[in-house]
Amino acid sequence: MLELQKIKALISLLDDPDPQIWETAMNELSNAPYQLSDTLNQLLSEGLESVEQQERLEACIEEIRFQHIGQQIVDWKNKGGQNLLEAIALICQLKYPAVTETDLQERLEALRLDAWLEFHYDLTSFEKVKILNYILFQLHGFRGDEDNFLHHDNSFINKVLDNKKGNPISLSIIYILVAQRLNVPVYGINLPRHFIMAYVEDEETDTIENFNDKQEISEDASGEIKFYINAYNGGGVFNHSQLRGIIKEMSLEEKPEYMTPCSNSDIVLRVLMNLYNSYLSQEKSEAERFNKIIKKFSV
């Protein structure tokens, strides 16, 4: 592990006029163990000698964070990828380190409680979705961000919860996490260019004994798809025939995976891809960092 004296020496080289010298120093700092992040942040907060040192050390700290959290996201998948919120919280931490899974859980719980107060035992599947739509899109005002669709904050759930606007997959993730905590069997559909959801009825979610349970439904949808839901347009509902028409209008080949529930890992990969494309469109260095995570995640 790098000693403090060597760390300070490397930082002093970050504004060297010779690119080969400061790039070498950056590379060594960027590959420091994650445990040194606090030390680097402390030195950063104390102030450095130049703007170049400041900016380049910030980039090193961000690189260390991406490497560490990126590996955690890959490990999550390799362990089965069961808890979607865990991976979504990790993605948030790539850009917003202070975000925790507990923070997100509490905010989703508030949404769940608002919906739960409107639920009763004899609701039909459509009535349950109608209540969820009212709570999320009318009472709380979540909506699609049509003005700045590609902005990276539309893919970070903490910012979507703050701003009440997002892209199709981020709005769907919030919808899914709230619905499943109410034992409502809503799952993601990995439709290209426009992520949607499906209401999948099965025996496990059709018993009133489970009505008040949280996170009791299966991670894998195994029942009949009753209808599809589009979170981006306020929870619009449509059937299988209409989805086939949408796929045709999008000039896509009709594939089973465009009409059947996807895995949590598929959802996480889609979010990572959205973030990569967002930063790439802005020509920002984060694009390459996300690309590295995607490559490891896709193996």
Residue 272 and residue 266: Cα distance in Å, rounded? Answer: 10
Owning domain of residue 10 = 4-78
10 Å Cβ neighbour count for 34? 12
**Higher local confidence (pLDDT), 214 or 114:** 114
Query: Would you place residue 23 in the very low, low, confident or very high pLDDT band (cuts 50, 70, 90)?
Result: very high
Is the pLDDT at 88 greater than 90? The verdict is yes
Mean pLDDT of 56-83: 96
- Which of the four pLDDT bands, split at 50, 70 and 90, describes residue 75? very high
Whether 136 and 205 map to the same domain: the answer is yes
What does the pLDDT read at residue 206? Answer: 47
pLDDT band with cut points at 50, 70 and 90 for residue 48: confident
pLDDT band for 204, please (50, 70, 90 cuts).
Answer: very low
Residues 59 and 116 grouped into a single domain: no
One domain for residues 157 and 263: yes
**Boundary residue ending a domain (51, 78, 105):** 78
25 and 147 belong to one structural domain? no
Same structural domain, 174 and 57: no
**Residue with token string 């590959």:** 31
Range 102-106 average pLDDT: 97
Give me the pLDDT at residue 224, please. Answer: 87
Mean pLDDT of the chain, nearest integer: 91
**Mean pLDDT calculated for residue range 75-90:** 96
What are 274-280's contacts with CB under 8 Å, separation 24+? 274/154, 274/155, 274/167, 274/169, 275/91, 275/152, 275/155, 275/156, 277/150, 278/150, 278/151, 278/152, 278/154, 278/155, 279/152
> Do 9 and 104 have their domain in common?
no
* pLDDT, position 220: 59
Whole-number pLDDT of residue 104:
98
What is the pLDDT at residue 1?
65
Q: At what angle do helices 4-12 and 19-30 cross, to 10 degrees?
A: 150
Place of tokens 């025996």: 203
**Three-state SS at 148:** coil
Position 8 confidence tier, pLDDT thresholds 50, 70, 90: very high
Q: Which of 120, 97, 101, 121 is nearest to 109 (CA)?
A: 101
Question: What DSSP character marks residue 168?
Answer: H
pTM, full prediction:
0.90
88 and 65 share one domain = no
- Which band of pLDDT confidence, cut at 50, 70 and 90, is reported for residue 122? confident
Residue 111 shares a structural domain with residue 243: yes
For residues 267 and 82, the answer to whether their CB atoms sit within 8 Å is: no
Residue 145 sits in the same domain as residue 245: yes
Position 207 scores a pLDDT of 43
- Domain stops at, among 78, 103, 137: 78
d(CA 183, CA 206): 9
Q: Who wins on pLDDT, 207 or 184?
A: 184
Which pLDDT score, from 0 to 100, does residue 219 have?
A: 55
State the total domains in the chain: 2
Percentage with pLDDT > 90 across the chain: 84
User: Domain end: 58, 78, 98, which one?
Assistant: 78
Q: pLDDT tens digits, residue range 264-291?
A: 999 999 999 999 999 999 989 899 999 9
Statement to judge: residues 53 and 106 lie in one domain: no
**pLDDT tens across 152-198, in order?**
999 999 999 999 999 999 999 999 999 999 999 999 999 998 999 99
**Residues 171, 26 share a domain:** no
| In a shared domain, residues 12 and 107 | no
Is residue 201 pLDDT above 90, yes or no?
Answer: no
User: Does pLDDT of 125 surpass 60?
Assistant: yes
- According to DSSP, residue 237 is labeled E
Per residue in 222-259, pLDDT (tens digit) is: 678 999 999 999 999 999 999 999 999 999 999 999 99
